[in-house]
Amino acid sequence: MQLEKSAYSAAEKSTGVVLNLGHTAHGARQIYGGVAGILLLCLSIVIAGCREPVGIAQKQRNSLSPQVARYMTEAEGAFSRGVYELALAYTDSAEAYVPELADLHFLRGKIYTQLNQLQVAQAAYQVVLEIDPEYAGARFDMGLNSFRRGKLRDAINYYLEEELEVGPTTALYHELGRAYARIGVPDSAEAAYEQALSLDPEHTTTYMWLGQLLEETGNLEGALEASLNGLRLRPDDLDYQYIVGTQYFRLDSAEAALPYLEPVANEWTWHHGAQFNLGQIYMRLGREAEAETYFARADEAQQLQQRVNEAQNAINNDPTSPANWIELGNRLRESKRYGRAIEAYKNGLTIQVPPGLALYMQTNLATLYMECGDLSEAARRFEAILRADPDLSAARLNLGIVYAQAGRFDEARTMWTELLEREPPNIAAQSYLEQLDTMDQNEYVEASTTDCRDSG
């Protein structure tokens, strides 16, 4: 369907926040799964970005009207912001003008992949190939989706077809390696990884997966060498530090493992593997008191993970329940994995829910951005929420906090003052205002804005 302007207020469009107030442009489009494919999806975006589609698709792009080009730009922007309903609506609008536009079907494939509607995504990619059999990335993405569905042979076939029709890429060989590894053909997997690295000797992810493969086959020295190659290219990556640390540990080099695992365990308290392995290392080093500390943290992290798993299982059983997505978001937030929590809430918001629940989810989402330090995004979301419902006290209170954290004291004062006018007994607002009056604003150090991605 085409984008219905009435569905989205001007304010929502300007902030990029879509408040699902009981109306969805695509009510039938719902989520069927978790967020596990985010990394894969990101990878496929990179692919498309790295390589210009050629042939029919390129010709179509060159002849697009400004109107359709704008729809596509808006759709891609909405997609990159995670506003999937809006992105779909824009693709529908573009389709009304150019139904055979390969790019829109390709983007649709990506959106449905993100929404875990993999079969719908596959159908969209199939349309792309019918329009342009040489469309770069379509078969690759179909391979990624097949991999996610456990159809490993299909994935391998798609990758090989992509190689034949479009040509090889690093990411293609990388994913081919992963599929071979998963299906139990380690030699082919290793060869594919090597091909990926021959195309791009700095492809860090391939080094890490090669290391994983070699570790599984018992070649620990080779695994460590590969992983160290990856870590040298991205020395600050905590995931990589964790892998290198554990591989040193497997090689009975507890002391060598220590400097790699300590930062991971301390930075990612939710990472039970890091806590557990660090505890193990301390045990081997005879530092039992420290070991106990990290074992206790591992236990706590394990329990948090268990709750996350239970929430994920509930989604697997019923992905159409907003409550299940809220629960997953809450559990991830509890374990301080804000990036994944945000994704869970975003996915939940694509489901048609009553207005009150949508506002609750939006408020939680904005709060998540606030908690993980993305103050600009948090402010944008709280502002949009208050435009939708000015009586929402929690949003007004939190928006004041966000403003204050960002050093926007006047705006913070306005928020809390307005809240007190609306709710005279609001103790929290009163307290914040008093703090604002007494603090030395000259010495205030503005909280740095961070992004909310997490990993591991």
Q: Residue 29: which region, alpha, beta or left (left: phi > 0; alpha: psi -120 to 50)?
A: beta
Question: What is the distance between the alpha carbons of residues 338 and 397, in angstroms, rounded to a whole number?
Answer: 21
- Is 7 one of the binding residues for other proteins (CB under 8 A)? no
- Is 310 one of the binding residues for other proteins (CB under 8 A)? yes
Among 27, 55, 150, 390, the residue binding other proteins under the rule CB under 8 A is 150
Among 13, 61, 70, 250, the residue binding other proteins under the rule CB under 8 A is 250
- Is 284 one of the binding residues for other proteins (CB under 8 A)? yes
Among 16, 77, 168, 186, the residue binding other proteins under the rule CB under 8 A is 186
> Which amino acid appears at position 393 of this protein?
S
Among 283, 394, 420, 436, the residue binding other proteins under the rule CB under 8 A is 283
Q: How far is the CB of 288 from other proteins (least distance, A)?
A: 8
CA distances from residue 12 to 15, 127, 144, 329, 387 in whole angstroms, order as listed: 5, 31, 33, 23, 9
Region near other proteins per CB under 8 A, out of 59-67, 84-92, 115-123, 149-157? 149-157
Region near other proteins per CB under 8 A, out of 57-65, 198-206, 294-302, 326-334? 294-302
- Is 148 one of the binding residues for other proteins (CB under 8 A)? no
Query: Which of 134, 299 has the CB closer to other proteins?
Result: 299
- Is 287 one of the binding residues for other proteins (CB under 8 A)? no
Query: Which of 191, 436 has the CB closer to other proteins?
Result: 191
Q: How far is the CB of 284 from other proteins (least distance, A)?
A: 6
Contact 109, 128 (CB under 8 A): yes
Query: Which of 103, 215 has the CB closer to other proteins?
Result: 215
- Is 276 one of the binding residues for other proteins (CB under 8 A)? yes
Question: What is the distance between the alpha carbons of residues 323 and 318, in angstroms, rounded to a whole number?
Answer: 10
Residues 347-376 touching other proteins, rule: CB under 8 A, are none
Contact 158, 147 (CB under 8 A): no
Q: How far is the CB of 109 from other proteins (least distance, A)?
A: 22
Structure tokens at 210: 């090669």
Q: Is the dihedral of CA 57, 114, 23, 339 positive or negative?
A: negative
- Is 302 one of the binding residues for other proteins (CB under 8 A)? yes
Region near other proteins per CB under 8 A, out of 245-253, 337-345, 361-369, 377-385? 245-253
Region near other proteins per CB under 8 A, out of 130-138, 146-154, 202-210, 432-440? 146-154
Query: Which of 213, 357 has the CB closer to other proteins?
Result: 213
- Is 120 one of the binding residues for other proteins (CB under 8 A)? no
Cα-Cα-Cα-Cα dihedral of 183, 185, 191, 195, to 10°? Answer: -10
- Is 184 one of the binding residues for other proteins (CB under 8 A)? yes
CB-based contacts of 418, cutoff 8 Å, min separation 6? 396
Beta carbons within 10 angstroms of residue 119's beta carbon: 11
Comparing CA positions, the residue from 171, 120, 126 lying closest to residue 149 is 120
Question: What is the distance between the alpha carbons of residues 176 and 443, in angstroms, rounded to a whole number?
Answer: 55
Question: What is the distance between the alpha carbons of residues 388 and 369, in angstroms, rounded to a whole number?
Answer: 19
Residue 166 CB burial class (10 angstroms; 0-12, 13-18, ≥19)? buried
The gap between the terminal CA atoms of the chain, to the nearest Å, is: 38
Binding residues for other proteins, rule CB under 8 A, total: 40
Question: What is the distance between the alpha carbons of residues 395 and 422, in angstroms, rounded to a whole number?
Answer: 13
DSSP 128-147: HHHH-TT-TTHHHHHHHHHH
Angle CA 98–24–142, to nearest 5 = 55
Region near other proteins per CB under 8 A, out of 70-78, 194-202, 293-301, 397-405? 293-301
Query: Which of 147, 403 has the CB closer to other proteins?
Result: 147
Among 15, 24, 206, 275, the residue binding other proteins under the rule CB under 8 A is 275
Region near other proteins per CB under 8 A, out of 57-65, 169-177, 217-225, 357-365? 217-225
Among 25, 301, 385, 397, the residue binding other proteins under the rule CB under 8 A is 301
Q: How far is the CB of 170 from other proteins (least distance, A)?
A: 25
DSSP 11-50: HHHHHT----SS--TTTT----S-STTHHHHHHHHHHHHH
- Is 298 one of the binding residues for other proteins (CB under 8 A)? yes
Residues that bind other proteins (CB under 8 A): 149-153, 183-184, 186, 215-218, 220, 246, 250, 252, 272-277, 279-280, 283-284, 288, 291-292, 295, 298-299, 301-302, 305-306, 309-310, 313, 317
